[in-house]
Structure 1
């Protein structure tokens, strides 16, 4: 029974053979498609009666020997990262605020927040940028940043709210039992755990935020795509558009794959409650922490009333006048 799966039947020899054949055929089709694309791009082409070299010809890449070109590309990268960094900080702050308001027990605060979140989630990011630029006249940079903050902040807020809902009810009940108020319980006990659990999802959303900075092209922000494809393409000529496109693609892949790798590392790092270090295999148990806080609070009460010390395991006091629970 342990060697078989209850979800599906194990494939037999014929199914394994068909799977291998399908995998080989798929690989051949993919390689053939890549070869066709490379051959097509490398072939010379006619344009206006002039024969132009292929896309991989060395004359199409000569501009990258110019140091001023790389300086301009660097300024585009800095502009993209600057907008993404400011928007990421704002989105996380807005997400924390919206998650607390959306999970509030006060109806007049919770219901309007839900309406606002649904409105912002349903509006396209580009439309937000255009609205902010045309109505508020903030300039291209702040139009990009504010729109990214509003849209991604709502998604991060919903992720944090889901983390709060997913926590066991015993966390709040234990915090309330030691004298915490509901807001204190949410901020000191529940929210840190929810934030840690949702941190990989938040980082993954920040990857989306970084890619959405490319929408700044439409509102005139000089991010990577506008800088490389529009400004540099117009300056050097259409002959180098494909070369600039490949360089821009490589830059975006490097940035996004780095953040994606960080998200996967963070997911493993925070799995099962996380660890303090590579050599420390002991996971933090929030329930045990609550019990320890409860025991300390009970010890203080017992010391004031002469009841003795509190035994969390036995659920009572011992060693004092009028002690009960474990002594009984």
Structure 2
């Protein structure tokens, strides 16, 4: 079946695609077999290494669950602070006032150019040097600070791009009926831009969840990935098993987040297609009768 953007495949193209698919599947099967055999030769698939995660609750209650709680705590705090801050910076970059637009642009470009790990390390040093935050809480504060500064800058660009992607005619029409810039932004541009920005925003939220692992790797923040190191040492160097379980948890967490975002985006798009109140058949007949009667009366008067 042909379309404007795609031509139907001919017999040769179909055969070529089938050959490529078969070759890819064979190569993938060979790679998986090589990984499996290598792990088996190294003894990483033995039952005692996987038993703590499949039979008991000790590994989950002592290591995995506390680490997951710290990961979610840091991610939620970073999201709650970064999203409104990013929206504010993104709107500020669209301001007509130079004294608002230029400083916001400098802040966004500065923190967007610095790696998030560097921001976390600087945050840890600043909290240790200039605040009274306890040494036990400093890693959490530093991780959240780094995530907020970096991701707020990225979200600001997402917000700015989402607003600029809307047709200019809407802004011109709103100003023509007397709406102020703030009313235009709140009532017309932002509600429409949210739907367009949602996939990019969700992608950035997934990045926030994954970047919490940097705090565990460098700042001794006891998050989910850091718990895998302690757990593998306690259960006899089952590194592959521990990190596999942690990876599956990260995949499930991010998949749930993207699934929810997809559902929310579809719901928002459906709600915008609504036409308001539903008019029944009887109401339509009454309206038609009233219109005909009014036209007849007007003709009689003439």
In structure 2, the CA distance between the partners of 1:11 and 1:233, relative to structure 1 (3 Å rule), is same
Shift of 1:266: 3.0
Matched, 1:62 2:51: yes
Matched, 1:270 2:259: no
Shift of 1:268: 3.0
Tell me the equivalent position of 1:225: 225
Higher strand share: 1
Q: Is the 8 A contact 1:92 1:156 kept in 2?
A: yes
Shift of 1:6: 5.1
Q: Is the 8 A contact 2:49 2:236 kept in 1?
A: no
TM-score between the two structures when normalised by the length of structure 1 = 0.75
Q: What secondary structure does 1:156 align onto?
A: helix
In structure 2, the CA distance between the partners of 1:25 and 1:184, relative to structure 1 (3 Å rule), is same
Tell me the equivalent position of 1:131: 122
Matched, 1:117 2:108: yes
Tell me the equivalent position of 1:37: 35
Q: Is the 8 A contact 1:197 1:270 kept in 2?
A: no
- Root mean square deviation of aligned Cα: 2.0
Matched, 1:105 2:96: yes
**Structure 1 stretches lacking a partner, 5+ long:** 46-53, 285-328
Shift of 1:12: 1.9
Larger RCO of the pair (alpha carbons < 8 Å, separation 6+): 2
Q: Distance in 2 between matches of 1:6 and 1:173?
A: 33
Shift of 1:145: 0.7
Q: Is the 8 A contact 1:204 1:263 kept in 2?
A: no
Shift of 1:258: 1.2
Q: Is the 8 A contact 1:95 1:154 kept in 2?
A: yes
Aligned residue pairs total 265
Shift of 1:152: 1.0
Q: Distance in 2 between matches of 1:166 and 1:107?
A: 22
Higher helix share: 2
Shift of 1:219: 0.9
